[in-house]
Amino acid sequence: MGKRSTAALTAASMAGIFLVSGCAFREAICPSDEYAVAAVHSTTGRTCVKDGQSPPAGYVRFPEGKVPKHVDDEWDRYWQDHLLDENGREVSP
Give me the mean pLDDT over the 11-34 stretch.
70
Distance of CA 21 to the CA centre of its chain: 19
pTM for this prediction = 0.71
Q: How confident is the model at residue 32 (pLDDT cuts 50, 70, 90)?
A: very high
Predicted pLDDT at 93: 78
Predicted pLDDT at 81: 94
Please report, rounded to a whole number, the percentage of residues in the chain having pLDDT higher than 90. 70
pLDDT in tens, 43-69: 999 999 999 999 999 999 999 999 999
